[in-house]
Amino acid sequence: MAMVSGAALWVGYLWAAWDGDGKTWHDKVAGTAVVKKGLNRPGRLLLVSIVGLVGLSTFVALAVLYVSARMHTWRMEGSSMEPTFHDNQLLTTVKHGQPSRGDVIVFKYPGDTTRDFIKRVIGVPGDTVEVRDETVFVNGSPLKEDFIKDPPNYTYPPKTVPPNSYWVLGDSRRNSFDSHAWGLACQPTQQCDFVPAENIIGQILR
């Protein structure tokens, strides 16, 4: 919002530098003036250049701060995301809304929020997920996963992903501590196998 307001203000003063009356567009509307008419001002080109440079610098600085606040760098640990990502690989996340199916995300592990995990989103709110016959099903349809290391060698009964939650798996299906395994550590009435939306830190940039 600050960038939008700043840009509008910059355009207004740029107009003032070019306008013969020395008024910005918002001054014209309000009936005020930033420079008295007839004042001996420096050449318009010089003034436009100075105002433009200051405005552009401010816009770039705000944009960099905005992006930096939403981007983070991580180091992959372990082989749970093989062959997509490898142990010790540097990864960058950015937070841009809620993730979609197929996004790889970094999140706080629901069982211990001091630990950060990297997994792939398989089920979004409202989806029914299931694993059987070495295949992952979403809403009854088998997923085509030519990017995984090995097909899953376990079963997972049909479950519907709750609101504001996500079901995640590692790309190394047989070597990943993920949603299918978390549920084994809690009671059937609990929902330990889903990632709450508030735990998500960001999506991996590719």
Q: Report, as residue numbers or ranges, the catalytic residues.
A: 80, 119
Query: E strands within 17-134?
Result: 71-75, 90-94, 104-108, 116-123, 128-132
Look up tokens 């001002």; give the residue.
Answer: 41
Tokens of 151: 């097909």
Which parts of the chain fold into alpha helices (H)? Answer: 2-18, 25-30, 44-70, 179-182
Tokens of 149: 């290391």
Cα-Cα-Cα-Cα torsion 89, 93, 98, 102, nearest 10 degrees, comes to -30
